[in-house]
C-alpha cells in the first residue's frame, strides 16, 4: 500500500542507504541481483524494475523475456559487510510477467503456491535447516580443496582456525535479522555448521540464500572460499542441509500430541508417511547436482535408505528428542546445493498429501539399517534413494504430485538442466578412470 511504501522510503533514507540490491533466485538456487541507486527506490517499490529474463538459468526464451522484479518489503535488510557510509540494502523480489502475474519459473512462487495450498487446511510449514560448509584456501584467486584447519567436531582453537570467521559471520547474520542458535566446527577437517532459528518455509528459504552468500562473502574477505558443495572430498563427510520440519496450526505445533505414542500426533505420522512416499522424487530437488549423490552413500552420516526413526541417525527421517513446540521431523537428505524454495515446496506437498490421505508410515527402523544385509533390508521393505541425478530425475518425472507442485515450466527447465548436466558428466573422462585403466589396458 502507499503508506507502507512511503514508510519504507523513509526508512531507507534514515538508514543512509544509497544503493538498493534487488535480489531473486534462478532455477539452480543461485542468487542474482541488480543494484539501483536510491533515486530509483520509489519507482522500484511501486511498479517494480524490469529486467531481461532470458539470461537467467531456467527462466524464459528470448521471445518472452521481459520480466519485472517486485521487491518484498518484508525482506529489507542492510548488507553489513558493505561500507558503513552510503550504505547498501537489499530486497528479495518476486518475479512477475509484464502483465503483473507471478512468473511460473520463479522458485519463490513455487513455494508460495505450496504454502497457500497448505494454508487451505490451516497449516503453516516451518523449516529449520542446518547448513554445513567447508572453508578452503584460495591460491591465485582460485579456490582449492586445501583445508584451512585440521579440526573436528566441536573443536576449539588452535585446531579450529575459523572461530573469527564464524564469529564475524554470526555477527553479520544477526545484524541482518537472523536468530543464530549455534555455530560449531563440524566432523570433517575445515568443516563448519551455523544454525539459525526455524521460521515459516518462505522466510527460511530466503534465509538459506542469504546465509550462503553472506558466509561466502565473509570468507572471501579473509582470503578463503566457503564451499557448500555436497561432497567436495572423497573419503570424508560431505556437507548436508538437514531440514527440520513441522506444521503449525492456530499458532500451535501440530506435530505434538502429549497423549499419542512417542508424543507424535497423527498429523506428524502422516506427514512422515507422505515424505517417505515421495522421497525419491523429492531427491531431484533436494540433491540437484551430480556431486550430491557422492554424499548419499553409506558410512558418512548421510542417508541412503528410505526409512524413518525416532532414535537412530542413519535414517532418512529422524525425529529429534525435543517435544512441545520443538516437535519436528528432521529430513536428512537435502544438501546445501539445493534450491531451498523448490526443495521445501516438494517436501511440504509430499507431507500434506500424507496428512490429507492419512498415509501411515511403515514401522520405524529400530536398529542401524546400515548394519543390515541387503536381503534383510529387502525383507523389511526398505528402499534406497536414487543413486544418481539421472535416476532421481526419472523418479521426479514419474511422480505426478511433485511435478504438479513444481509446475510444468519448472519441470521442463529441470529436465533440460538434467539432460545437459548428465550428458556432460557421462561423456567426460574422469581422473578416476585414468587411475583405474590407463596403466592396465
Ligand atoms: P541437530 O541436533 O540435528 O544437530 P540442530 O540443533 O543443529 O540439530 O538444528 C535444529 C534446527 O531445528 C534448528 O534450526 C532449529 O531452529 C530447528 N527447529 C526447532 N524447532 C523446530 C520446529 N518446531 N520446526 C522446525 N524446525 C525447528
Ligand atoms: Mg546440527
Ligand atoms: Mg544441535
Ligand atoms: Mg551437522
Ligand atoms: Mg541434524
Mean pLDDT (whole number) for 317-322: 96
Separation between Cα atoms, residue 81 and residue 117, nearest integer Å: 38
Do 310 and 262 touch, CB atoms closer than 8 A?
yes
The one-character DSSP state at 364 is P
| ipTM beyond cut 0.95 | yes
Separation between Cα atoms, residue 406 and residue 402, nearest integer Å: 6
Which residues are known to be catalytic?
A: 52, 130, 132, 186, 193, 242, 313, 330, 332
**Tens of pLDDT, residues 399-439:** 999 999 999 999 999 999 999 999 999 999 999 999 999 99
Output the pLDDT for position 162.
Answer: 76
Separation between Cα atoms, residue 10 and residue 26, nearest integer Å: 30
Residue 62 predicted with pLDDT over 60 = no
Residue 111 predicted with pLDDT over 70 = yes
What's the grid cell of residue 109? Answer: 512462487
Residue 125 predicted with pLDDT over 90 = yes
Question: What band does 172 get if pLDDT is binned at 50, 70 and 90?
Answer: very high
Range name among 50-59, 260-269, 293-302 with the lowest pLDDT average: 50-59
Nearest partner of 108 among 71, 142, 143, judged by Cα: 71
Strand segments (E) across 149-223: 180-185, 191-196, 199-200
Output the pLDDT for position 159.
Answer: 62
Do 282 and 393 touch, CB atoms closer than 8 A?
no
**Tens of pLDDT, residues 349-365:** 999 999 999 999 988 87
Residue 326 Cβ contacting ligand 1 at under 6 Å: yes
The residue contributing the CA closest to ligand 1 atom 17 is 128
Q: Count Cβ atoms within 10 A of the Cβ of residue 117 and give its class: 0-12 exposed, 13-18 middle, 19 or more buried.
A: middle
Which residues neighbour 148 within 8 Å (Cβ) at sequence distance 6 or greater? 135, 136, 137, 161, 162, 190, 224
What's the grid cell of residue 407? Answer: 509446475
Instruction: Provide the sign of the torsion angle of the four alpha carbons 146, 149, 152, 153, taken in this order.
Output: negative
Tell which atom from ligand 1 comes closest to the C-alpha of 318: 3
Output the pLDDT for position 158.
Answer: 63
**Tens of pLDDT, residues 367-397:** 677 788 888 888 888 899 999 999 999 999 9
**Tens of pLDDT, residues 69-92:** 999 999 999 999 998 899 999 999
Strand segments (E) across 186-337: 191-196, 199-200, 224-227, 241-249, 252-253, 305-306, 308-309, 317-318, 329-331
Output the pLDDT for position 239.
Answer: 97
Question: What band does 35 get if pLDDT is binned at 50, 70 and 90?
Answer: very high
Output the pLDDT for position 285.
Answer: 98
Output the pLDDT for position 59.
Answer: 76
The residue contributing the CA closest to ligand 1 atom 4 is 130
Residue 186 predicted with pLDDT over 90 = no
Mean pLDDT (whole number) for 95-113: 95
Question: What band does 156 get if pLDDT is binned at 50, 70 and 90?
Answer: low
Q: Which residue has the cell 531507507?
A: 12
Cα 330 to averaged position of ligand 5 atoms, centre (Å): 7
- Entry field: residues in the chain: 441
Tell which atom from ligand 1 comes closest to the C-alpha of 198: 16
**Tens of pLDDT, residues 203-257:** 999 999 999 999 999 999 989 999 999 999 999 999 999 999 999 999 999 999 9
Distances 118 to 234, 313, 348, 349, 356 between C-alpha atoms, Å: 40, 28, 8, 8, 10
Residue 130 Cβ contacting ligand 1 at under 6 Å: yes
Separation between Cα atoms, residue 262 and residue 256, nearest integer Å: 9
Output the pLDDT for position 127.
Answer: 98
Question: What band does 157 get if pLDDT is binned at 50, 70 and 90?
Answer: low
Amino acid at each position: 500500500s502507499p503508506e507502507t511504501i512511503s514508510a519504507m522510503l523513509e526508512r531507507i533514507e534514515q538508514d543512509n542507504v544509497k544503493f538498493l540490491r534487488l535480489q531473486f533466485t534462478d532455477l539452480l538456487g543461485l542468487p542474482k541481483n541488480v543494484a539501483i541507486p536510491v533515486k530509483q527506490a520509489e519507482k522500484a517499490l511501486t511498479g517494480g524494475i524490469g529486467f531481461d529474463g532470458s539470461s537467467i538459468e531456467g527462466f524464459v526464451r528470448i521471445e518472452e523475456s521481459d520480466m519485472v522484479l517486485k521487491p518484498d518489503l518484508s525482506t529489507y535488510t542492510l548488507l553489513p559487510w558493505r561500507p558503513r557510509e552510503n550504505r547498501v540494502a537489499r530486497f528479495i523480489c518476486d518475479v512477475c510477467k509484464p502483465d503483473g502475474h507471478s512468473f511460473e519459473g520463479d522458485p519463490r512462487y513455487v513455494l508460495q503456491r505450496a504454502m497457500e495450498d497448505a494454508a487451505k487446511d490451516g497449516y503453516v510449514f516451518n523449516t529449520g535447516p542446518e547448513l554445513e560448509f567447508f572453508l578452503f584456501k584460495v591460491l591465485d584467486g582460485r579456490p582449492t580443496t586445501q583445508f584451512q584447519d585440521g579440526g573436528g567436531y566441536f573443536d576449539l582453537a588452535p585446531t579450529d582456525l575459523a572461530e573469527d570467521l564464524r564469529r564475524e559471520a554470526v555477527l553479520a547474520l544477526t545484524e541482518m535479522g537472523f536468530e543464530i542458535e549455534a555455530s560449531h566446527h563440524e566432523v570433517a577437517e575445515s568443516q563448519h555448521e551455523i544454525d539459525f532459528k526455524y521460521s515459516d518455509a518462505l522466510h527460511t528459504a530466503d534465509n538459506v540464500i542469504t546465509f550462503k552468500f553472506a558466509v561466502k562473502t565473509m570468507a572471501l574477505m579473509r582470503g578463503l572460499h566457503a564451499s557448500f558443495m555436497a561432497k567436495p572430498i572423497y573419503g570424508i563427510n560431505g556437507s548436508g542441509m538437514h531440514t527440520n520440519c513441522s506444521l503449525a496450526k492456530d499458532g500451535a505445533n501440530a506435530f505434538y500430541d502429549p497423549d499419542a505414542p512417542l508424543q507424535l500426533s497423527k498429523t506428524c505420522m502422516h506427514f512422515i508417511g507422505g515424505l517417505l512416499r515421495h522421497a525419491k522424487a523429492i531427491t531431484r530437488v533436494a540433491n540437484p547436482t551430480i556431486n550430491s549423490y557422492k554424499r548419499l552413500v553409506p558410512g558418512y552420516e548421510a542417508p541412503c535408505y528410505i526409512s524413518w526413526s525416532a532414535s537412530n541417525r542413519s535414517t532418512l527421517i529422524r525425529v529429534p528428542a525435543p517435544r512441545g513446540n520443538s516437535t519436528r521431523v528432521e529430513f536428512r537428505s537435502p544438501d546445501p546445493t539445493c534450491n531451498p524454495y523448490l526443495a521445501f515446496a516438494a517436501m511440504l506437498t509430499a507431507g500434506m498429501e500424507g496428512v490429507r490421505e492419512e498415509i501411515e508410515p511403515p514401522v520405524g527402523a529400530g536398529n542401524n539399517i546400515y548394519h543390515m544385509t541387503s536381503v534383510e533390508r529387502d525383507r523389511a521393505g526398505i528402499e534406497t534413494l536414487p543413486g544418481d541425478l539421472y535416476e532421481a530425475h526419472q523418479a521426479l518425472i514419474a511422480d505426478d504430485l511433485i511435478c504438479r507442485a513444481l509446475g510444468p515450466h519448472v519441470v521442463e527447465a529441470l529436465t533440460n538442466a538434467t539432460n545437459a548436466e548428465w550428458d556432460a558428466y557421462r561423456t567426460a573422462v574422469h581422473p578416476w578412470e585414468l587411475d583405474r585403466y590407463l596403466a592396465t589396458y
